[in-house]
Chain A
Amino acid sequence: MRLRLEKRAAPSAAMRWAAPLMATLLMLVTGMLILVLLGKAPGDAFRVFFIKPLASVYGIGELLLKTTPLLLCGLGLAIGFRSNVWNIGAEGQLTIGGICGAGVALAFGDTESSWLLPAMLIAGVIGGMLWAAIPALLRTRFNTSEILVSLMLVYIAQLLLGYLVHGPWRDPDGYNFPQSRLFNDWELLPLLWDGVRTNIAFLIALLLAALSWLFTAKTYAGYRMQVAGLAPAAAAYAGFSERRNIWLALLISGATAGLAGIAEVAGPIGQLQPQVSPGYGFAAIIVAFVGRLHPLGILLGSLLMSLLYLGGEQAQIELALPSAITGLFQGLLLFFLLAADLLVNFRITGSAR
């Protein structure tokens, strides 16, 4: 008896959604196993990682706060992934978004004005789009892999941020710390309610999730991109422009990543620092896959990923574990998902031999 893979006539819809759940479960089991191997009581570890962060209103607020950039980046990336455009530089577009938005605040923010915050957000979006336009331009004009270009631009963006906070944008009254001045109240996104740090960017992200569903399900442009991903030959035969898909995918994902960047800078961080993201742009790649590139799934995926970030922080405080455990769990989750995805297209059958 040996196990054989048998291709399904059509991908299994049930498995498409069961796979992320299976992956989450497997990640939990493996994660607990790792913690037990490290000598932590499994009950303790589970409580610290998954219950404690959610046990207070403040905790829920933090969950939604960290969900926001993941959701924003994930939504944008998913639109590209659906049409086989691999923007993996959301982290860089996020950084540039933060820089551009902060630039507006630093230039014009000394006097209070109601247009300032919208202008910062728009600058963030445009910054992200411009940064994503580079791989789009190079891919469409010079056939250059958007994977490698967008990734190289992450490092360049982070170095640029480092230069700005160490150099021209450093707070002159900041005791030489590499950071900009603190933002004024009118340069910060309004909070949703008292006692939490969640701000209106979360609502914007939810709205964009709905819009991205409309885009994919109801617009011709969204349809064209879907066809390009599922059946490139059919898309080419139908005369759908590959060039337009690439531009659209990168500009949209750049825009949402840029928005996520300025929302972080004008939100929980409140100034420009050498690091504006603990890898949200990369984690969003996992979010997009775990969420099956569907807005609702991406929302759930970003909640889960946000919980992993919070759990990692909590585990650092209470269990004396390095917070890098978050990255480990994230990677495991994606591995299990990719493995479970086998069941979408294949059936495992035992055949006697």
Chain B
Amino acid sequence: MSLDTWIAIFVSTVVAATPLIYAALGELVTEKAGVLNLGVEGMMLVGAVVGFIVGVNSGSLVLGYLAAMLAGVLMSLVFGVLTITLQANQVATGLALTLFGAGLSAFVGRSYAGQPIDGADALHIPLLSDLPVVGALLFQFNALVYGSIALFFAVQWFLSRSHAGLRLRAIGEAPSVSHAIGHPVQKTRYRAVMFGGACSGIAGAYLSTALTPMWVEGMSSGRGWIALALVVFATWKPLRVLLGAYLFGGVTVLQLYAQGFGLTVPSEFLSMLPYAATIVVLVIICRDPKTILLNQPASLGKGFHPDA
């Protein structure tokens, strides 16, 4: 295969991985605060449809992205009110959020299905984008791709270096202790959940405006769930989320180039790869219960209420 093909594979891997990075980093922060939100898929779908609708009608993708983030935050607030304030079961509520998001997005987006949109353009960075090979490899993506890398550094810094991040992690490990020494457990958890919502929202908008610039019902096709699996796979470490997302991006684009490699497998089987890969990596990581026990935030999935 030619150099151009390899460049194309690399580029589409990065492009396919980007929504996973947003969604998984958002969920990572949520989970670090001790909250398991299984509604990523639903928030992504709502973000996708809202980002698309606002983008088409306003003609501005930036507005679309802002609206998608807001939509994700609103969705996550429903989850937050139910689980943090009303003490509902996190697993059940997350599932409800996903089912609700799928229904809501299909309902709202009905008349927009199949309509085209001017998708996100590649940024043109003077000089850098024009470099031979390197320019094509690294400097011809759309803005959200660079945003995902920036988000990684921000999350990494926040969790490991900032005071607020330290507090958030403490709350995820031991909410009662944190409460006793005066940390605002509920407020921090709300913020973490909302951050996750915003990230899922923009991940969804990326799907409908950049990856495939149109709205299709259920277009996230399990990426929200794969993002959840990525967080486990990454043992709750941001850098591994980033690497894991690129791994999955690679698996996803493999199907596009399989014929180039001389593979003649029915396309359905190639499309199964990301899902099968998710199961395989989960098995590899979870095989040793200690890996999970040592890394998983201790209060993950358990509610906490100062009154109770």
Taking a contact as CB atoms under 8 Å apart, the answer to whether B266 and A167 are in contact is yes
Taking a contact as CB atoms under 8 Å apart, the answer to whether A144 and B272 are in contact is no
Tell me which residues across on chain A come within 8 A of B269, comparing CB atoms: 159, 163
Complex-state Cα separation, A296 to B243, whole angstroms:
48
A4 sits at the interface (CB 8 A): yes
Tell me which residues across on chain A come within 8 A of B305, comparing CB atoms: 5
Measured CB to CB, the closest approach of chain A to B35, in angstroms, equals 15
B282 sits at the interface (CB 8 A): yes
Tell me which residues across on chain B come within 8 A of A156, comparing CB atoms: 272, 275-276
Measured CB to CB, the closest approach of chain B to A232, in angstroms, equals 12
Complex-state Cα separation, A345 to B86, whole angstroms:
10
- Chain A residue at minimum C-beta to C-beta distance from B276: A156
Taking a contact as CB atoms under 8 Å apart, the answer to whether B99 and A147 are in contact is no
Known: A148-B228, A335-B78, A338-B88. A328 touches B107 (CB 8 A): yes
Complex-state Cα separation, A332 to B50, whole angstroms:
19
- Chain B residue at minimum C-beta to C-beta distance from A285: B95
Tell me which residues across on chain A come within 8 A of B89, comparing CB atoms: 338
Measured CB to CB, the closest approach of chain B to A353, in angstroms, equals 13
Taking a contact as CB atoms under 8 Å apart, the answer to whether A6 and B276 are in contact is no
| B59-67, B117-125, B207-215, B286-294: which lies at the interface | B286-294
Taking a contact as CB atoms under 8 Å apart, the answer to whether A338 and B282 are in contact is no
Interface string of B90-116 (1 = CB under 8 A from A): 011101110111111011001000000
Complex-state Cα separation, A86 to B97, whole angstroms:
16
Complex-state Cα separation, A138 to B88, whole angstroms:
28
Taking a contact as CB atoms under 8 Å apart, the answer to whether A338 and B275 are in contact is no
B57 sits at the interface (CB 8 A): no
Measured CB to CB, the closest approach of chain A to B8, in angstroms, equals 25
- Secondary structure at the B interface, as helix, strand, loop or mixed, is helix
Residue in A86, A155, A289 whose CB lies within 8 Å of B222: A155
Known: A5-B305, A167-B266. A330 touches B278 (CB 8 A): no
Tell me which residues across on chain B come within 8 A of A148, comparing CB atoms: 225, 228-229, 232, 278-279, 282
Interface string of B263-290 (1 = CB under 8 A from A): 0001011011001101100110011110
Known: A338-B93, A342-B88. A149 touches B279 (CB 8 A): yes
Tell me which residues across on chain B come within 8 A of A145, comparing CB atoms: 232, 282, 286
B82 sits at the interface (CB 8 A): yes
- Chain A residue at minimum C-beta to C-beta distance from B306: A5
Residues of B within 8 A of A (CB-CB), count: 50
Taking a contact as CB atoms under 8 Å apart, the answer to whether A331 and B307 are in contact is no
Tell me which residues across on chain B come within 8 A of A346, comparing CB atoms: 87, 308
B53 sits at the interface (CB 8 A): no
Taking a contact as CB atoms under 8 Å apart, the answer to whether B110 and A342 are in contact is no
B221 sits at the interface (CB 8 A): yes
Measured CB to CB, the closest approach of chain B to A167, in angstroms, equals 6
A210 sits at the interface (CB 8 A): no
* Inter-chain contact total with CB atoms closer than 8 Å: 140
B173 sits at the interface (CB 8 A): no
Tell me which residues across on chain A come within 8 A of B82, comparing CB atoms: 335, 338-339
| A44-52, A117-125, A234-242, A318-326: which lies at the interface | A318-326
Taking a contact as CB atoms under 8 Å apart, the answer to whether B225 and A162 are in contact is no
- Chain A positions 30-56 with a Cβ under 8 Å from a chain B Cβ: none
Residue with the highest number of chain A CB atoms closer than 10 Å, among B78, B217, B225: B225
Complex-state Cα separation, A149 to B282, whole angstroms:
8
B25 sits at the interface (CB 8 A): no
Measured CB to CB, the closest approach of chain A to B97, in angstroms, equals 8
Taking a contact as CB atoms under 8 Å apart, the answer to whether B91 and A331 are in contact is no
Measured CB to CB, the closest approach of chain B to A161, in angstroms, equals 9
- Chain A positions 152-202 with a Cβ under 8 Å from a chain B Cβ: 152-153, 155-156, 159-160, 162-163, 166-167
Tell me which residues across on chain B come within 8 A of A6, comparing CB atoms: 307
- Chain B residue at minimum C-beta to C-beta distance from A322: B110
Taking a contact as CB atoms under 8 Å apart, the answer to whether B99 and A338 are in contact is no
Known: A322-B107, A327-B107, A331-B104. A338 touches B283 (CB 8 A): no
Measured CB to CB, the closest approach of chain A to B217, in angstroms, equals 7
Residue with the highest number of chain B CB atoms closer than 10 Å, among A282, A324, A341: A324
Residue in B38, B110, B272 whose CB lies within 8 Å of A155: B272
Measured CB to CB, the closest approach of chain B to A271, in angstroms, equals 19
Measured CB to CB, the closest approach of chain B to A185, in angstroms, equals 31
Complex-state Cα separation, A344 to B232, whole angstroms:
33
Taking a contact as CB atoms under 8 Å apart, the answer to whether B287 and A155 are in contact is no
A111 sits at the interface (CB 8 A): no
Could you write out 30 A-B pairs with CB less than 8 Å apart? A7-B308, A138-B282, A142-B283, A143-B286, A144-B279, A145-B286, A147-B38, A147-B91, A152-B276, A152-B279, A155-B272, A159-B269, A160-B268, A162-B268, A283-B99, A286-B96, A324-B107, A324-B110, A326-B103, A331-B103, A332-B100, A335-B78, A338-B86, A338-B88, A338-B93, A339-B81, A341-B88, A342-B87, A346-B87, A346-B308
Q: Which residues of A contact B (CB under 8 A)?
A: 4-7, 86, 88, 138, 142-145, 147-149, 151-153, 155-156, 159-160, 162-163, 166-167, 282-283, 285-286, 289, 322, 324-332, 334-335, 338-339, 341-342, 345-346
Going nearest first, the 4 A-B pairs with the smallest beta carbon separation are A327-B103, A331-B100, A324-B106, A163-B268
| Sample of 14 further A-B pairs with CB below 8 A, known A289-B92, A330-B99 | A5-B307, A6-B307, A144-B283, A145-B286, A147-B38, A147-B91, A286-B99, A324-B107, A324-B110, A328-B103, A330-B100, A335-B82, A338-B82, A339-B86
